[in-house]
Amino acid sequence: MSTDATTSDKIRCDACPVMCYIKPGAAGACDRYANHDGQLVRVDPHVLLERTVSHGGRLVPFQASGDWDGKLVHEPDVFVTAIGAGTTYPDYKPAPFIVSSEIDGVDMVTVVTEGIFSYCGVKVKIDTDRFLGPETATVRVQGEAVGHVTTSEYGSQMLSLGGVHHLTGGSKKEGRVTCDALMDLSNCKPVEMTIDGGATVVVQAGYPPIVNGVPEERMRVGCGSATIGMFAKQWQGKVDEVVVVDDHITGVLSEHQAGKVLDIQDTGIKMKGRRSTPGRYFQVAEPGTGWGGTQISDPLSILGPFDPKVAKPGTTMLMVSTTGEHAAYYELDDALKPVEKTMPPDLQSSVERIQENCEPALCTVLFMGGAGGSLRAGVTDNPVRLTRSVKDALTRVTCGGAPVYVWPGGGITFMVDVTRLPAGAFGYVPTPALVAPIEFTMRLSDYAALGGHMDHVRPLASLNAGEIRQVTPPPPKTGAR
């Protein structure tokens, strides 16, 4: 007869559905819980944040009510985050920390939990006008599908990564790779990914993207038409024609309304692509990593022959991309063909002005998850009341102390900028699922009204950030295995 592991030197962790048996001195599969001298403990510490400005937004002490104590600044407020707090699994347990405190004279309570999110993912914004891949193309990490390309936004390419289908709906390797990629992205680490039919890109929150091995420097100032509108007056009297090459909307100065207002004369230029409104052209070239997010390396390839009834030899032309990264200057010869010349200094200055107005290219990662019923049950015995309290703005939701955007509609679906959280705020369980901190803060009276676990409320002063917090495992089982 073998002895059940719970009666030997191993202990069983109940922090997630995996229910690991952990031997002394070792950690569970998630690396978050360990067997410390026969006790189940959290490996990483519980994080408390200090805030130097109160909820009321006070800036200087003499603006506060009451007598000034002579100090130059207020003592920092302490905010209890869910980072390192533990989970509500199994679902009947109240949240690990339900902490009361007084903020600006109001009794408040903060309920903190590390949520286990199978329904989660990240939305990635990549500042680049380069073509990363066709819309809906699969995004892969280590060859495994982890998401897809979604609709691009102004000056940025967008990816939607993760989600329950990649975490649990595919192969075991797909779920593991997806979980690892989501956790690394959420913890602001670099992840290399490839896009079917497109580029290889390295994404790291708060850093420039690296596209096909080349770091991006700047985000485009606008589309070709917008660039014409912004800088038309700076070109007036310095050049006869300007073409701003762009994958989406290529602008032509002489035809554009801005050029007409400035009385810039027709040059006889002919553009390839589909004409939209005057001076605005769609589909002048295929998407790519060349000029203006197109596949071209020679900008003259998007031009047709100049109209001999209008064009004149000696006409000058500037062609420039929306980031100013590519630029060239031409003059028409006697055959009305553009010939590249050295760019005049005043036009070079205008190219540099375009570059100056381009913001630095960065990657933005937003973690997105939905607070399930079990997580909400850790706050109240009637979970729907918590949802209603959030919708009624009685309860404030944060993630590791960072502000979140809560989506309208049912449930508590939120997004958070991962760069606003403390380092290492996200973890995982090998189901696979991500573990993310979530905090609910409200008036103590509102917490009581929504059926909160009032018998588990503890004062802020009772917390010791340096304590080893023990997690009580379920009662041991005996008998043969």
Residue 477 in any domain: the answer is no
Closest CA to 159 of 168, 151, 167, 170: 151
Query: Does one domain contain both 138 and 86?
Result: no
Sequence-distant (6+) residues with CB within 8 A of 319 are 242, 243, 245, 299, 300, 327, 328, 329, 330
Residue 12 in any domain: the answer is no
Is the pLDDT at 373 greater than 80? The verdict is no
Domain around 65 = 46-118+372-462
Is the pLDDT at 102 greater than 60? The verdict is yes
pLDDT of residue 50: 67
Query: Does one domain contain both 399 and 458?
Result: yes
Q: How many domains does the chain have?
A: 3
Output 72 or 336, whichever has higher pLDDT.
336
User: Quick one: tokens of 432?
Assistant: 């696979």
Output 200 or 9, whichever has higher pLDDT.
200
Which percentage of the chain shows pLDDT scores above 90? 66
Is the pLDDT at 63 greater than 90? The verdict is no
Distance between CA atoms of residues 73 and 419, nearest Å = 27
Per-residue pLDDT of 301-343, as tens digits, reads 999 999 999 999 999 999 999 999 999 999 999 999 999 999 9
Q: Mean pLDDT throughout 56-72?
A: 44
Residue 446 in any domain: the answer is yes
Q: Assess contact for 245 and 354: CB atoms under 8 A.
A: no
Confidence of residue 26 (pLDDT cuts 50, 70, 90): confident
Query: Does one domain contain both 395 and 448?
Result: yes
Residue 476 in any domain: the answer is no
Query: Does one domain contain both 71 and 125?
Result: no
Q: CA 75 → CA 54, 69, 70, distances in Å?
A: 10, 11, 12
Output 130 or 374, whichever has higher pLDDT.
130
Is the pLDDT at 475 greater than 70? The verdict is no
Per-residue pLDDT of 192-231, as tens digits, reads 999 999 999 999 999 999 999 999 999 988 899 999 999 9
434 three-state secondary structure: strand
56 three-state secondary structure: coil
Measured from the Cβ of residue 67, the count of other Cβ atoms closer than 10 Å reads 8
Residue 20 in any domain: the answer is no
Sequence-distant (6+) residues with CB within 8 A of 40 are 11, 13, 15, 22, 33, 34, 470, 471, 472, 473
Is the pLDDT at 55 greater than 60? The verdict is no
Distance between CA atoms of residues 98 and 460, nearest Å = 9
Distance between CA atoms of residues 203 and 184, nearest Å = 10
Confidence of residue 464 (pLDDT cuts 50, 70, 90): low
Tokens 């790519």 found at:
288
Is the pLDDT at 294 greater than 50? The verdict is yes
Q: Mean pLDDT throughout 223-248?
A: 95
